[in-house]
Chain A
Amino acid sequence: MARVKLTNVKKIYDKNVVAVHDFNLDIADKEFVVFVGPSGCGKSTTLRMIAGLEEISDGTVEIDGVVVNDLQPKDRNIAMVFQNYALYPHLSVFENMAFPLRLQKMPQEEIYKRVTEAAEVLGITEYLNRKPRALSGGQRQRVAIGRAMVRDSKVFLMDEPLSNLDAKLRNQMRAEIILLRKKIDTTFVYVTHDQTEAMTLGDRIVIMKDGYIQQVGTPDEVFDMPANLFVAEFIGAPKMNTFSTRLVKENGEYYVEPFGSKIKVTGLKGKELAEKKIETRDIILGVRPEHIVLADKKGEDSIACTIQVNEMMGSELHLHVLTEDGTPIIVRVPTVNLTHEQREQMVNGHKIFITFEGKVMHFFDPETTENLL
């Protein structure tokens, strides 16, 4: 229930190691923002600065219009869920969840009401008398979420809450967090290194690298219009294929020429290139594995490849192929469209032809790695 505003926030450690550079972000009330990036990118540090667990070296953090730089965590009215759950081992599940309420000296009946309600929502009612060590990882994380839920705090911070869970449980908990978010309806800041979590949970995603924000946008924006090569490769799985090649302008039409082929840029992308008056130049071309299609035969717009590895994922095949000059490319092929004959050919060592869908290419500057559009 609060707006969080970070203005020129910096984190500099003792030995002039800068963990976060000039972080600017305005998080709206009841928004779900996800910080995502590889380890060491400063996402957790930023979250911890919002929480008050790290000192803010420079800049300001505002919660609900109040600068909280010098406030202790306890005075910021925030709730936080930690990666390793951070449950108090000497207290029962009930007491763990009641802990923040007891510190507020809330009446006993109110504590009981809130804890049992939260436990009900999270499905942990039957474990209320257990100690945390008698719970599984998923149950522990539920308790940790419950402890944060009971408080009616302004901001809900989550620091990689699902990273310690196994893959299946993670998927399940991810869905539960989406449901939970609807119930709690407060401002969320969520940190993860997993782009799937970021894409599925966030209203907006903040992609970070080496302490710098790379892009802020909705899941659609960061996926369809990555600001730079890093974002393009980080978002989406398997990651985007990138090749150094040329963008050629001929008679008002644009073509890319990877691996000796010549593929026309069509649709919106072609128009945008024309609008920006981009001339023939060297580029880094980005094509997502799902935007690569199989071609029937060798043609001007197709590239010959040899299948190195084929991964059967069920509804689709992930083909790891090598071009003739040895560049690896990943191709996603939906199995539903394949004829029996084609399916038989998708084996290691087999030669195939691929081409790109002209309307979903990405063009990056080789020097700055910024998106040209």
Chain B
Amino acid sequence: MSEKKHMGMKAKTRLSNTVIYVILTIMSIVWLFPFFCIVCESFRVESTYQVGYVIPKQWGLDNYINLFTKTDFPIWFRNTFIIALFVAVFQTIIVLCMSYTLSRLRFKMRKGLMNVMLILGMFPGFLSMIVLYKVLNGMGLTGPNSIPGLILVYVGGSGMGYYVSKGYFDTIPRSLDEAARVDGATRLQVLTKVMLPLCKPIVIYTILTAFMGPWGDFMFAKYIAHASSVGMTVAVGLQSMIGTPSSLAANYTMFCAGGVVVAVPITILFMSLQKYYVEGVTGGAVKG
């Protein structure tokens, strides 16, 4: 009797697992197919424009070679990489300091500040675009000089992204801070010697998101670099390659190759830090 019941449970589990796996498989195909298409396009040699099939008839590296020799792609890539590095450093410092402050220090208007930032964060960032452009233009940080301008734009509001890391900091017992302060640590030493080592996942999460931001942003980058090729990031530069119907026809496969190259640094970073990243996203809820 009990064995029969047991078997029933087992069969049920197997069935539900099968259903889950089928659904997950379908979902991953839907998600991965576009990437697969882009990779295939980037190796297509027989045509520079869209064709009605996925697998190339002739494989080759022409698109990649052209991308690096006949366009400003290396400049765009360098620009984006520089921006991403700076943003990763500054944004991480600002976000972590902000989170520590809001999590540990008590001051007047702390709640008010958090609420204001929450509400401000609900407005789309591009609402401020025109003003930002005017300011940066006045400082001469647009067009060819857009790299420092963009770094300012990305780093400027980064303190508002404190939620996730503050939530994580909140899970670390306050008595650890207090013990460290009694032991002779300054607030900064408490942060660097006690909190950050304990919050490694969230630090890595913060660095990753900060580094990734500039690779994907199009709107601000386009607005601030406008037509100056040397001030473009990869997103803007690649778009400019296929901006008109004729250039689309001529550069489409090269555009796809650009997309693949852009994905490389982010993919490498993700793969190497994936373990911590997942911990960081879920770690805030229950202390690991």
Contacts and interface: CB of A to CB of B under 8 A. Distances in A.
Interface of A: 51-53, 72-74, 78-80, 82-84, 86-90, 99-100, 103-104, 147, 151, 157
Contacts of A84: 173, 175
B189 interface: yes
Given A86-B173, A89-B198, A53 B181 contact: yes
8 contacts: A73-B178, A74-B186, A79-B182, A86-B178, A87-B179, A88-B194, A103-B185, A104-B184
Main secondary structure of the interface of A (DSSP, over half): loop
Given A74-B185, A103-B185, A104-B184, A80 B197 contact: no
Given A74-B186, A103-B189, A86 B181 contact: no
Given A53-B181, A74-B181, 5 more contacts: A73-B178, A73-B181, A86-B175, A88-B198, A90-B197
Contacts of A147: 179, 183
Contacts of A99: 180, 183, 193
Nearest to B179: A86
Contacts of A80: 178-179, 182
Contacts of B184: 74, 100, 103-104
A37 to B, nearest CB: 21
A82 B197 contact: no
Contacts of B197: 90
Contacts of B194: 88
Contacts of A90: 197-198
Contacts of B185: 74, 103
Interface residues of B, number: 17
Given A74-B184, A90-B198, A82 B189 contact: no
A88 B180 CA distance: 9
B178 A82 contact: yes
- Mostly, the B contact residues are helix
Contacts of B193: 99
Given A86-B173, A86-B176, A51 B182 contact: yes
**Among the interface residues B178, B181, B182, B197, which one has the most CB atoms of the partner chain A within 10 A?**
B182
A53 B182 contact: yes
Nearest to A79: B182
B138 to A, nearest CB: 43
Interface in B201-220: none
A100 B194 CA distance: 12
A103 B197 CA distance: 16
B182 A74 contact: yes
Contacts of B183: 74, 79, 99-100, 103, 147, 151
Nearest to A90: B197
A314 B35 CA distance: 79
Contact of B176 (A52, A88, A157): A88
Most chain-B CB neighbours within 10 Å: which of A74, A80, A83?
Answer: A74
B182 A73 contact: yes
A151 B183 CA distance: 9
Q: Which of A51, A52, A103 has the most CB of B within 10 A?
A: A103
A79 B184 CA distance: 9
A87 B183 CA distance: 11
Interface string B162-186: 0000000000010110111111111
A90 B193 CA distance: 10
Contact of A53 (B178, B186, B189, B198): B178
A104 B183 CA distance: 9
A54 to B, nearest CB: 10
B192 to A, nearest CB: 12
Closest 4 CB pairs of A and B: A100-B183, A86-B179, A86-B175, A103-B184
Contacts of B175: 82-84, 86
B108 to A, nearest CB: 10
Contacts of A51: 178, 182
A72 B181 contact: yes
Contacts of A79: 182-183
Nearest to B108: A14
A78 B181 CA distance: 10
Nearest to A80: B182
Nearest to A144: B179
Nearest to B197: A90
Nearest to A77: B184
A86 B189 CA distance: 16
Contacts of A157: 182
A147 B184 CA distance: 12
Contacts of A104: 184
Contacts of B198: 88-90
Nearest to A78: B182
A79 B183 CA distance: 7
A52 B178 CA distance: 9
B176 to A, nearest CB: 5
A98 to B, nearest CB: 10
Contact of B179 (A52, A72, A82, A151): A82
B87 to A, nearest CB: 28
Contacts of A53: 178, 181-182
Most buried by B among A78, A86, A147: A86
Nearest to A51: B182
B112 to A, nearest CB: 14
Contacts of B181: 52-53, 72-74
B147 to A, nearest CB: 37
A73 B181 CA distance: 6
Contacts of A72: 181, 186
A87 to B, nearest CB: 8
Interface centre among B179, B186, B194 (most CB of A within 10 A): B179
A196 to B, nearest CB: 25
